């Protein structure tokens, strides 16, 4: 029996069959379009989604027709398909998902189902982060032991992919810094997404969540997201406006749904999370970076995060606006997730959970298991601190993305040896 015929049979007997397992939405769409019954139903849903995108009001009969079309898909693979954060046709895949689930987009708090595959089901790539971190810890690049964000940057600079993609978005997001006319926020966001999607999380999460003890380190951490271009406007917009901008974009809407699902706070939970999964929450938060709702640290001396928006002049939607802002500012799940990633203020339970989520996000590049934090500790014990005047004279605004152009002859001699397989 052919695939198209099988799908048609499943659609006709939807009420009698169990749901098919989730699949790639692009593949599910191709399978659906090859069957005349599924094709007609899907085309109806496309028209419904298009009307909703254009804010067209539908009469009662049209709304019923759209709802019935979604129900007619029954338990097909199209209804249960998912997308992957690093797939090449991600935007197309997400468009398919929201076409099929258009009834879920009535409001922010209806986005409870993420279109993305569970992080545990995604393939994790190997990385040489631990070897590069050991290389940095044993060289002159280690620098001041009190600035882990600087060392995390140095480790990134030794990885070709991390250095290239970080340089790409930095060159776009810092172009004409300080001038409102030359910041191309859309391109800056795309560059940020490329960095966080295509560079292994073993690199990106250590740059974004490096534990700081002073404002100099905190400023580097905060400027990882290049706030002047990607995060801030001349005046803070209303959070409802940010939400509207997000819901008009398939990627942002999908990341918001993923964030709401995986970082949903709950008061009765010891870790503050309804799903008790710090790894998924951390990835969902990082997924928001490079969207119209890009969050960032509140200040250089704080680990608190927020959106760059306000709820002033929200009228009768003030409560909804506060809830949107509170998903970042007053979210105990997100707060505990960031704390545990930075190894701050951990209880015994949180330390145990930290081991669980760290293992799910670690990419087995080698068996040593050396973390950057342990490398930092070795540096602090084995090396004397640099002269404080050298640190204070660092040009911070430009050094946030610097560190890769320096020539390190001695480093070049040992790099092939240290990176060679054992």
For residue 373, being part of any structural domain is answered with no
Question: What pLDDT is recorded for position 343?
Answer: 82
Q: CB within 8 A of 333, min separation 6: which ones? A: 263, 264, 265, 266, 269, 271, 272, 273, 274, 281
For residue 383, being part of any structural domain is answered with no
Q: Which of the two residues, 70 and 363, has the higher pLDDT score?
A: 70
Do 56 and 28 touch, CB atoms closer than 8 A?
A: no
pLDDT tens for residues 9-58?
333 333 332 334 457 899 999 988 988 888 988 998 888 888 776 666 67
Among 170, 44, 19, residue whose Cα is nearest residue 100: 44
CATH classification of the domain holding 70 = 1.10.220
Instruction: Single out the residue in 301, 317, 343 at which a domain terminates.
Output: 343
Q: How far is CA 62 from CA 48, 51, 95, in A?
A: 8, 10, 21
Among 266, 362, 289, 281, residue whose Cα is nearest residue 118: 281
Average pLDDT over residues 226-230: 91
Alpha carbon distance 297, 86 (integer Å): 25
Distance spanning both ends of the chain, measured CA to CA: 50
Alpha carbon distance 334, 340 (integer Å): 10
For residue 236, being part of any structural domain is answered with yes
For residue 287, being part of any structural domain is answered with yes
Alpha-carbon torsion (60, 65, 68, 73), positive or negative:
negative
For residue 161, being part of any structural domain is answered with yes
Same domain, 64 and 159: no
Average pLDDT over residues 386-393: 36
pLDDT tens for residues 251-273?
999 999 999 999 999 888 888 89
Least confident stretch, 96-105, 141-150, 154-163:
141-150
For residue 358, being part of any structural domain is answered with no
Tokens at 72, concatenated: 């007619």
Task: Rank 95-109, 131-145, 167-181, 259-273 by mean pLDDT and report only the highest.
Answer: 259-273
Same domain, 248 and 154: yes
For residue 377, being part of any structural domain is answered with no
Tokens at 65, concatenated: 């027709």
Same domain, 58 and 135: no
Alpha carbon distance 415, 417 (integer Å): 5
Alpha carbon distance 191, 15 (integer Å): 45
Instruction: Single out the residue in 279, 309, 343 at which a domain terminates.
Output: 343
- Give the burial class of 215: count Cβ atoms within 10 A of its Cβ; 0-12 exposed, 13-18 middle, 19 or more buried: middle
Q: Which of the two residues, 348 and 186, has the higher pLDDT score?
A: 186
Q: How many domains does the structure of the chain reveal?
A: 2
For residue 332, being part of any structural domain is answered with yes
Specify which residues 305 forms β-bridges with. 297
Boundaries of domain holding 49 = 20-106
Same domain, 159 and 82: no
- Show contacts of 314-321: CB within 8 Å, 24+ apart: 314/238, 314/239, 314/240, 317/240, 320/108, 320/240, 321/238, 321/239, 321/240
- Taking the whole predicted model, whether its pTM rises above 0.95 is answered as no
Question: What pLDDT is recorded for position 186?
Answer: 93
């Amino acid at each position: 029996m052919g695939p198209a015929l099988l799908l048609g049979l499943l659609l006709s007997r939807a009420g009698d069959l169990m749901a098919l397992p989730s699949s790639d939405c692009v593949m599910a769409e191709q399978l659906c379009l090859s069957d005349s019954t599924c094709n007609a139903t899907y085309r109806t849903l496309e028209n419904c989604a298009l009307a909703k995108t254009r804010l067209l009001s539908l009469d009662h009969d049209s709304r019923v027709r759209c709802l019935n079309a979604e129900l007619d898909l029954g338990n097909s693979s199209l209804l249960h398909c998912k997308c992957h954060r690093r797939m090449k046709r991600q935007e197309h895949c997400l468009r398919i998902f929201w076409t099929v689930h258009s009834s879920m987009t009535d409001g922010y708090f209806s986005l409870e189902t993420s279109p993305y595959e569970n992080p545990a089901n995604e393939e994790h790539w190997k990385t040489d982060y631990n070897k590069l971190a050991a290389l940095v810890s044993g060289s002159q690049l280690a620098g001041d032991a009190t600035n882990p964000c600087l060392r995390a940057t140095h480790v990134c600079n030794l990885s070709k992919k991390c250095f290239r993609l970080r340089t790409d978005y930095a060159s776009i997001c810092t172009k004409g810094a300080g001038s409102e006319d030359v910041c191309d926020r859309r391109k800056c966001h795309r560059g940020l997404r490329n960095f966080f999607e295509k560079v292994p999380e073993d690199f990106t999460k250590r740059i974004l969540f490096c534990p700081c003890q002073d404002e100099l380190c905190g400023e580097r951490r905060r400027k990882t997201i290049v706030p002047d271009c990607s995060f801030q406007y001349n005046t803070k917009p209303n959070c409802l406006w940010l939400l509207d901008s997000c819901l008009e974009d398939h990627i942002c809407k999908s990341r918001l749904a993923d964030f709401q699902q995986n970082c949903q706070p709950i008061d009765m939970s010891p870790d503050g999370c309804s799903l008790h999964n710090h790894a998924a929450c951390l990835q969902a938060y990082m997924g928001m970076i490079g969207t119209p709702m890009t969050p960032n640290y509140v200040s250089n001396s704080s680990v608190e995060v927020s959106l760059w928006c306000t709820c002033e002049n929200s009228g009768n939607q003030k409560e909804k606006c506060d809830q949107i802002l509170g998903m970042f500012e007053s979210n105990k799940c997100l707060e505990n997730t960031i704390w545990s990633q930075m190894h701050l203020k951990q209880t015994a339970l949180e330390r145990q959970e930290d081991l669980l989520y760290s293992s799910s996000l670690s990419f087995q590049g080698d068996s040593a298991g050396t973390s950057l934090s342990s490398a930092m500790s070795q540096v602090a014990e084995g090396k004397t601190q640099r002269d404080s005047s050298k640190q204070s004279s660092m040009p911070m605004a430009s050094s946030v993305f610097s560190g890769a152009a320096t020539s390190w002859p001695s480093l070049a001699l040992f790099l092939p040896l240290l990176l060679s397989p054992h």
